[in-house]
Amino acid sequence: MSVLHAAWPYIAALIPFLGGLFVFYVIMRHIVESDRRERIAQRKWEAEHEHRPGGADSGDSTDHRHPAQP
């Protein structure tokens, strides 16, 4: 019983740290998963637009992402 009594302050000090570590892990896992899904969607979108008429294979070299500066 005295071991638990002596160890309780250390356990109580670690509980907030472990809770914060768990929250950090969950947030980082969601960030990595969303990035992975976004990259897959981007590759899929680029593949769909690359092979359709008027896409990148049509010879249209206009870059619509960066409009010309006046």
Assign 66 a pLDDT band (cuts: 50, 70, 90). low
Per-residue three-class SS string for the chain: CHHHHHHHHHHHHHHHHHHHHHHHHHHHHHHHHHHHHHHHHHHHHHHHHHCCCCCHHHCCCCCCCCCCCC
Whether 2 shows a pLDDT value over 90: the answer reads: no
**Mean pLDDT across the chain, nearest whole number?**
84
| pLDDT tier, 50 (very low <50, low <70, confident <90, very high otherwise) | confident
Q: Give the tens place of pLDDT for each residue, 8-41.
A: 999 999 999 999 999 999 999 999 999 999 999 9
